Copies of this chain bind each other. A is one copy, B any other.
């Protein structure tokens, strides 16, 4: 699998609801911030932990943790956090060989406020990742992959959005399946028409949560959104938090429960890891229901600790479904 997304180092701190409110940001959402605003938010944050993140990058790490082969395309700078990002990706078994930029914005980061309910609120400084453009798309890597995975957050950078389309078209031409994650309800609202066109023209598999799929179709109701996504020739894997997930195909809907979690610590990366499990199942030709179960297992691992990367081999957690 090849993934394209924003390369970000996550900076996580525990904050209370009042802190999120004072910042004037939407709890549970993702706000884009410039470098100055990022610095101002960071200064207000409590002591933090730095862990590599980035939505599609997390998915590639999860896919590798199941035992799959994955490659990641994005832009980092030749700074310390760029070094951290590249190290962690490679140490997780993901191929990543884009040379770091020697000038331009710093490696991107995501300031993540984890509230006591384990919800996360994201403040993203795209940094170097916003400079990813069509020229950075590796056509050979895409043509030889089984799946091209694209994160919806890419739509927030015009350059990256152009790369996104170029990559999807190239995948279609070469028989590589295209999967896309809608990433965030507000991101969907900002780019609704572009998302809809992309899904109809290029996409085989859509990942979304309730907020994102209802935002896409401008409906209030999950069932209505699920009905709308059918009959596009597109498979949709829709996550509903603790209520599990629903896989929508032309043939109908399959609901799969969430995997049990001892204590939900930080929901950062839940959707990313669900996608990793689902796609790994797909790559093995497993039934959709099992793919969704693999997604649930991966999501349950990552929400049990701080950070969006698995801390144990997912292959072992899912051995009963894979062996």
Contact = CB atoms under 8 A, between A and B. Distances in A.
Interface of A: 13-14, 42-43, 45-52, 61, 79-81, 84, 87-88, 91-92, 106, 307, 309, 311
B14 A91 contact: no
B47 A50 contact: no
B307 A48 contact: no
Nearest to A77: B80
Contact of A14 (B48, B51, B80, B311): B311
Contacts of A61: 47
Given A14-B311, A80-B80, A87 B43 contact: yes
B14 A47 contact: no
Number of copies of this chain in the oligomer?
2
Given A43-B87, A47-B61, A80-B80, 5 more contacts: A42-B87, A46-B92, A47-B52, A49-B49, A49-B307
Contacts of A307: 49
A91 B49 contact: no
A92 B49 contact: no
Nearest to A311: B14
A88 B309 contact: no
A48 B87 contact: yes
A49 B49 CA distance: 7
Contact of A91 (B45, B50, B88): B45
A116 to B, nearest CB: 12
A33 B108 CA distance: 29
A47 B48 CA distance: 18
Contacts of A42: 87
6 contacts: A13-B91, A14-B311, A47-B61, A47-B87, A50-B84, A79-B80
B51 A49 contact: yes
Contacts of A88: 47-48
A87 B13 CA distance: 12
